[in-house]
Structure 1
Amino acid sequence: MAAPSNLSKRHYGSNATYNPFEYSRGLAGVNVSLDVIITRVIYLSVIGFAFVLFCGRIAQISHAYLRQVTATSSNRREQKFWSLEQSTWWPWVKKHIMYAPLGKKRHNREIQLSSAISVGTLPSRFQTILISLYLTSQVVYCLFLDYAANEKAALVAELRGRSGTLAVLNMVPLFLLASRNNPLISILHISFDTYNLLHRWLGRIVALETVVHTAAWAVNAVDEQDFSDMLRRLRTTPFFSWGLLGTVAMVCLALHSPSPLRHAFYETFLHLHQLFAFLAFLGVYIHLQIDALPQKPWIIAILVIWVVERSTRLLRILYLNVSTTNGLTNMTVEALPGEACRVTFHLPNRASVPSGSHVYAYIPKVSWWMTHTTHPPTQQTSPLIISARAGMTRRLYNLANARPSHTLATKGFIEGPYGSHPANAPSYGTTVLFSAGAGITHHLLYTRELVMRAASETAATRQVYLIWSVRSTDHLTWVGKWMDEILRLPMRRDILVVKLFVSKPRRPGDIVSPSATVQMLSGRCKPDIILDEVLPGRVGATLVSVCGPGAFADEVRAAARGRIGKGAVVDFVEEAFTW
């Protein structure tokens, strides 16, 4: 064993029993009291921000409710009050912060390095502000050390304790925000897609803090003995071995999660992600358990979150798909023109689907573990439209299309429905629903609900514009049945205007407008022109909603933002799933 250094002699005294591992295990040098203060500051700041956001949501919901109550019985002229902006600061906040992309326009349009490599999407301006503030705070907390300490080892030990504490603390929201049953979705009315983005960034923060924690330990371990002894302790001491497992798993999670790898090999990514997440949890749990460290309650909270969330999902699946009298769910997959599938789930139990909801489809014949997220076009979950893109959806289409009847019968399961919690659509006098491709399924339920409620005078709605952009007329067959049902609703002609844009028609004769309220147009949809036509004759406040590919959604967002702050009340909502 190496002789004690002069530094160690000063610390222990000439007659003290020398412990060469003083700063690489235990709480020597760790500023526990400051760690507690910092964790409480994080608790309070996050809870405070959530409370402010909650109050803001309550104010928005109350305002929308008041608008709906007063405008429901109002005619077009009487809704003028709600159509005009009453403040200057709120439109500015919406335009430049809440609805703004990070730069000029790009938000959900994927950044493609090539046809096969996607870098992913950019966060919005508001999301970037939140992520930047939290990341900066974590750096400040990690570096807020007692630099006046005489011993380098004590300073490194303090960094080890701080970074480890923050890593475990951040694992709690990391697991919570990844769950489909995250209670904050309904409490704060924030979409799962936003929480998924925050989950990814929290994962990167946890991985970095875990690496710093391990590196700080290694520095002191090497200084106390040597590099080979540090490796020996990793191999032979369970406390360090399990900690190393957690660190390696965290690093693997970070390395295999960048967008190019995630999108190129999504099914492989998903399986590995779940495996590494389990190993990270297991390693950290046993690491804390062995030395009974004070962070143990947090890791138990993570276990509770995981068990409750998975149990809830399992119960949802069993309730919809399993019946003692009707058996299990069967499904029929029909290949449609335009490379899409109509997937009909014959459920043993029925469930009503609120407007704006989405479900997850399990299709074991295509993938045992993968799910596909989609929006039911009706209030029953049985019929779904799934566009063939890549991976699971492409294999499903190919299987059905290869059959002589272009129809595949197999087993499948539905999980859901889950709500997306958009703005209160019935409180707006004018609603403009932009859809592209299979995104039309998200807006069909909204259209049906708004037209029916307007006809029965239970909503402020007076005008509904359904805009659908497709590549060819083949796509019109996807939802023809449900569209016909909407067009036969009472007073539909007085309320609903449908515009179908076909960007690549096969023949000019395919473009035929049945009536003034159902128009078929050749060429690309230009959202700015649509809004310039709608807004001058608007009734009440205007809601602009979009569901479709990222590039299309960004165009609609830009058009909506460009008309905020010019007198008209315009709100924007986007339905998106970025993975």
Structure 2
Amino acid sequence: MHFSIRQADPAIWSWVQGNRKVTWPSYESVLPTSEPPLVPEDLEVLNSTVRITDESYWAEYVTQMTFSYIERWHVRVGYILIILVVLSCLIGTVQYLHLTRFYATHSTQSWRSSKTMTWFKKHLVLPALFRSSHRRPVLSSMGYLPSRLAAVFLGLFFILNIIFLATPIKSVQPNTWSSSRKLEVNNYVANRAGFISFALLPLTVLLSARNNPLIAITRMTQNTYILIHRWVARVCALQAVIHSVAWTIQWYWEKPDGSKFRSEAVMPYMRWGFAGTVALCLMVGFAAWPIRHRSYEFFIFLHIALGIVSLLGCWYHMDYRFADKYGYKNWLYVTFGIWGADRIVRSLRMLYISWPALTRKPNTLAQAELVPGQSALVKLTIPTRLALSAKPGQYAFVHFASLFKPWENHPFSVASWSVGGEDAEKGIEEDKNSQKGSIPSFTPGAPHITMIVRAHGGATGRIRDTILANRGPVVLPMLLEGPYGHPQPLDVYETQVLVAGGVGITALTGYIQSFLASPNKTKRIIVVWAAREAEFIQFMLDHKLDGLPNNVDLKIHCTGAGAEKLEGKHTIELGRPQLTSLVKTEVAALFEGERIAFFVSGSGSMSDEVRRAVVDSIGDGPGQVDGDRVNFFDEVFAW
């Protein structure tokens, strides 16, 4: 259709051409003498003045206003859910400040020792959700349960997700977008679910990031954040499924013959949305504990690949459907930013502490060797500037750059560190008798760290096979990424009970090394270690646990064969340690006003047993103490 201003009004056309002497008619003279006609029902092209009914105008007005109201609340509920998770994490900050900055000597009159705080610690802070299982997989090894306090916040998070699907929602009829209230409300619920799923995407990525700033702020462990990450991701995927199902129902309600659904299903936005939802659900399914445990490398590869597909699906779902309207893509921009920032920081950290190894010059490569008498335990000695600032409780990801799959990396605890020079290990004897045929990868005085790992499949298994094929130690380029983790505030307790199982002893040696280097408030350390390999026990006694002072009480339990061959001044007991009895004994032996901390680095069952015994020791009954006098910490890679 062609519309000519010249033909419609010569005066306006003359003014447009530059004639400013045009005489304009008065306002009254141009008013219509009668009302414009009502808009025809079959109107397709508007080329004249028409009038809509008051009812139509009002229906469109309230429809648009209701849409704006619903959209504002989409954003608000997203922020509320994110803030809830962040605030729940900040409890870790309160606990850390309580133990460090605001530390005070024990007093029965203090609020720290009150019945309220003791009850809170005994029934909410420390216990597992169902008393017995927290670090040990449950439901036929399908996964881990959160702690009781974490379960309270996660339960509130889940309940709010359900509530926010239905409220705040405002329905108005007649509605120009929905012919019935049922369709209108279902539309809002479907969109609310999709929006919540989008809002949880950046939070999900943040909680899984290695450089999550909340870890430094709250002092909570990566284990805790990974657990929260899994539950938030499950809710995120569930909301995406609700969004998809609700819209499918909507289309079948509109056209029961399925024609509406079929017409939408072939649209690009629908296909990409379906791909994103399926990928998100597969990520949750393939993150089950059995898959993570049996093939960690496969899990990581699949998790990243499905994550990329999911985010691409979300992006094109929005791009084809709404382009840049309504700000839906902003959540994806934040998600991409968090993921990219974490990857950049990880690369920078790796370059900073591993730059010499990239040059492959002499004295920069790591040395891998088997623990004497063992084919499953590998000792890694890695030259790195990380040794200059290493602390107990820290770990690093080791990238095996020359083992065919350079993207593989695993977290290992820093067992000990040396900054070079004499007595570098500050009281813990360094290994001076490596296997014969050793090829030193660094000069004796170079800063380095030591890790001891158990070889399974994947990269650690290939290292073991390489050592066996070489019939001795091998030199490999290994890149470190870290350090991650932070020391637990054990130094404010007069007695520390450090419990380890197997290679978990490597997490304890860092705390012992730090204690010997700079004595603190702690007066006594009790080390309880259970391991099945007698050769490994002998190795640690000779090289890592030798020369301990009298205030470090070492109790070793050998759960395998060969204990009678062990040598040294320390008594070796057979069988598993009685951890429940140990906790009761040490709590009962506390002097008035003293505190005790239990720290576990071992299997999930070992951690859960000590946790349960510590919880039982809190109270005002016989053999119990108030909540300020006893605490529990653990370090378990329960990812």
With normalisation by structure 2, the TM-score equals: 0.75
Identity %: 24
Q: CA deviation at 1:41?
A: 4.6
Distance 1:312 1:408 in 2: 30
**Cα distance change on mapping 1:179 and 1:45 into 2, 3 Å:** closer
> What CA distance in whole angstroms lies between the structure 2 residues aligned with 1:195 and 1:361?
21
Q: 1:30 to 1:324 in 2, by over 3 A?
A: farther
Q: 1:379 aligns with which of 414, 417, 421?
A: 417
1:399 & 1:216 partners in 2: Cα distance? 55
Q: 1:75: which partner in 2? A: none
| Alpha-carbon offset, residue 389 of structure 1 | 3.8
Match of 1:47 in 2: 83
Moved more, 461-470 or 215-224: 215-224
Q: Which secondary structure state, in structure 1, belongs to the residue aligned with residue 133 of structure 2?
A: coil
- Counterpart amino acid of residue 414 in structure 1: L
* Secondary structure of the corresponding residue to residue 361 of structure 1: strand
SS of the aligned residue for 1:567 comes to coil
**Aligned equivalent of 2:557, options 484, 495, 501:** 501
Query: Aligned AA for 1:187?
Result: I
2:271 alignment partner in structure 1: 241
> Paired residue for 1:557, among 602, 611, 617?
611
Q: Which amino acid aligns with 2:369?
A: E
Contact in 2 for aligned 1:471/1:504 (Cα 8 Å): yes
Name 1:297's counterpart in structure 2: 330
- Cα-to-partner distance string for 1:102-145 (whole Å, 9 max, x where unaligned): 213122123484xxxx3233222222222221111111111334
1:82–1:416 Cα change, 3 Å: farther
What is the CA-CA distance between 1:471 and the residue it aligns to?
1.2
CA distance, structure 1, for counterparts of residue 495 and residue 387 of structure 2:
33
Which runs of structure 2 are paired with 1:73-472 in the superposition (5 Å)? 86-111=113-138, 113=140, 118-144=141-167, 145-146=169-170, 150-224=180-254, 227=258, 230-235=261-266, 237-290=267-320, 291=322, 292=324, 293-323=326-356, 326-327=359-360, 330-336=365-371, 337-338=373-374, 339-347=376-384, 351-364=388-401, 365=403, 367-379=405-417, 382-405=449-472, 407-420=473-486, 422=488, 424-454=489-519, 459-472=520-533
- Measure, in 1, the Cα distance between the counterparts of 2:81 and 2:341: 26
1:576 Cα shift? 1.5
Partners of 1:320 and 1:350 within 8 A in 2: no
Superposed displacement of residue 484, structure 1: 4.4
Determine helix, strand or coil for the equivalent of 1:571.
Answer: strand
* Cα-to-partner distance string for 1:162-188 (whole Å, 9 max, x where unaligned): 011100001110110010000001111
What displacement does 1:470 show?
Answer: 1.0
Answer whether contact 2:135 2:608 (CA < 8 A) is retained.
Answer: yes
Would the aligned equivalents of 1:333 and 1:341 in 2 still touch at CA under 8 Å? yes
Distance 2:608 2:582 in 1: 15
Is 1:61 the counterpart of 2:87? The answer is no
Is the CA contact (8 Å cut-off) linking 2:92 and 2:220 kept in structure 1? Answer: no
Letter in 2 for 1:91: T
Q: For 1:242 and 1:102, how far apart are their aligned partners in 2? A: 39
TM-score by length of 1: 0.83
Distance 1:51 1:199, change over 3 A: closer
Is the Cα–Cα contact under 8 Å of residues 469 and 503 in structure 1 kept in the other structure?
A: yes
Q: Return closer, same or farther for 1:344/1:165 CA change in 2, 3 Å cut-off.
A: same
Larger deviation: 269-278 or 389-398?
A: 389-398
Aligned position for 1:6: none
Question: Structure 2 regions of 5+ residues with no counterpart?
Answer: 1-38, 45-62, 174-179, 419-447
CA distance in structure 1 between the aligned counterparts of 2:359 and 2:89, rounded to whole angstroms: 45
Q: Which amino acid aligns with 1:417?
A: P
Name the SS of the counterpart of 2:142 in structure 1. Answer: strand
- How far does the alpha carbon of each residue in 1:473-517 deviate from its partner, in whole angstroms, 9 at most, with x for none? 2122453455246x25xxx22x2111111122425x336661xxx
1:522 lines up with 2:522 in the alignment: no
C-alpha separation in 1, matches of 2:190 and 2:495: 57
Deviations 1:306-364 (A, max 9, x none): 11110000111111222399547533221223421001223487652111111111124
What is aligned with 1:7? Answer: none
Letter in 1 for 2:585: E
Q: Secondary structure at the match of 2:196?
A: helix
Residue 625 of structure 2 aligns with an amino acid whose one-letter code is G
1:571 and 2:625 correspond: no
Q: Which residue of 1 aligns with 2:53?
A: none
| Distance change in 2, residues 1:81/1:162 (3 Å) | closer
Residue 264 of structure 1 and its aligned partner are, at CA, apart by: 3.3
Q: Is the 8 A contact 2:500 2:530 kept in 1?
A: yes
Larger radius of gyration: 2
Q: CA deviation at 1:161?
A: 1.1
Determine which structure has greater relative contact order: mean sequence separation of CA pairs < 8 Å that are 6+ residues apart, divided by chain length.
Answer: 1
Q: Distance in 1 between matches of 2:382 and 2:357?
A: 17
1:479 aligns with 2:540: yes
Equivalent residues of 2:240, 2:277 under 8 A apart: yes
**One-letter amino acid matched to 2:597:** L
**Matched residues in 1 for 2:230 and 2:91: separation?**
26
Equivalent residue, structure 1, for 2:12? none
Measure how far apart 1:248 and its partner are: 2.4
Q: CA deviation at 1:370?
A: 2.5
* One-letter amino acid matched to 1:520: I
Asked whether the equivalents of residues 394 and 413 of structure 2 are also in contact (C-alpha less than 8 Å), the reply is: yes
Question: Contact 2:66–2:172 at 8 Å: present in 1 too?
Answer: no
Partners of 1:83 and 1:446 lie apart in 2 by 29
Q: Residue 100 of structure 2 aligns to a residue in which SS?
A: helix
Q: Which piece of structure 1 moves more, 348-357 or 292-301? A: 348-357
How far apart are the structure 2 equivalents of 1:56 and 1:369?
A: 32
Query: Distance in 1 between the 2:110 and 2:522 partners?
Result: 12
Q: Does structure 1 conserve the Cα–Cα contact (< 8 Å) formed by 2:125 and 2:149? A: yes
1:91/1:393 CA distance change after superposition, 3 Å: farther
CA distance in 2, matches of 1:483, 1:248: 50
1:412, CA displacement in angstroms? 1.9
Once the two structures are TM-superposed, the CA of residue 218 in structure 1 deviates from its matched residue by: 2.5
Q: Does 350-359 or 172-181 show the bigger shift?
A: 350-359
The one-letter amino acid paired with 2:395 is H
Distance change in 2, residues 1:320/1:248 (3 Å)? same
Distance in structure 2 (CA, Å) of the matches to 1:313 and 1:350: 18
Across the aligned residues of Structure 1 and Structure 2, the Cα RMSD in angstroms comes to 3.1
Give the SS at the match of 1:379. Answer: strand
Q: Secondary structure of 2:369's match?
A: strand
In 2, the alpha carbon distance for the partners of 1:474 and 1:284 equals 54
Between the aligned partners of 1:58 and 1:85, the Cα distance in structure 2 is: 13
1: distance between equivalents of 2:281 and 2:86? 30
Residue 250 of structure 1 aligns with an amino acid whose one-letter code is: L
Structure 1 residue 575 displacement after superposition: 0.7
Q: Secondary structure at the match of 2:127?
A: coil
Indicate conservation of the 8 Å contact 2:171/2:184, yes or no: no
- The 1-side partners of 2:334 and 2:181 are apart by 36
> CA contact under 8 A between 1:331 and 1:345: conserved in structure 2?
yes
Unaligned regions of 5+ residues in structure 1, if any?
Answer: 1-12, 19-26, 72-78
